[in-house]
Homo-oligomer: A and B are copies of this chain.
Amino acid sequence: MINPYDDTYFMRKALEEAETAYEKGEIPVGVVVVINDRIIARGHNLTETLNDVTAHAEMQAITAAASFLGGKYLKDCTMYITLEPCQMCAGALYWSQISKIVFAAEDSNRGYRKNGVQLHPKTKVTSGILEEEASTLLKRFFIEKRNLN
């Protein structure tokens, strides 16, 4: 039997969050947190709307998932993220001890891997799921922003 709840399925849900961010004029990054094939938290970047550099999609979703679970550790959870996390979000994911992260597009400039930021030893990483869709949305955002200025 085919399981419809694969990495691509959940990354599409994260992409829907990124599109919501895009519609709000935010850098389009979206996230869902999943446990046992169930989405328990969603988030999209809100740094401009909230005037807050800490309001990345991942940070909000970590807080929301912990609130749902009633505990601060995201054991047995997977976070789907449309862009490689920055050092702040990777640091937060470290503290959360999340079981797995899956990200779509790489961020060779601000991504956590550039500076040697550590995830928790318990955290597995998969990348490249729906990479093209996530990258296309980000590129569209930055091209449109450049043309406006």
* B-binding residues in A (CB < 8 A): 47-48, 51-54, 59, 62-63, 66-67, 70-73, 86-92, 94-96, 115-118
B-chain residues with CB within 8 Å of residue A92 when the two chains form the complex: 53-54, 88
Choice from B63, B67, B91 contacting A91 with Cβ under 8 Å:
B91
Name A91's closest neighbour in chain B (CB-CB): B88
| Bound complex: CA A62 to CA B92 (Å) | 15
**In contact, A95 and B51 (Cβ under 8 angstroms):** no
B-chain residues with CB within 8 Å of residue A53 when the two chains form the complex: 62, 66, 72-73, 92, 95-96
| Bound complex: CA A116 to CA B113 (Å) | 11
Choice from B54, B59, B71, B118 contacting A87 with Cβ under 8 Å:
B118
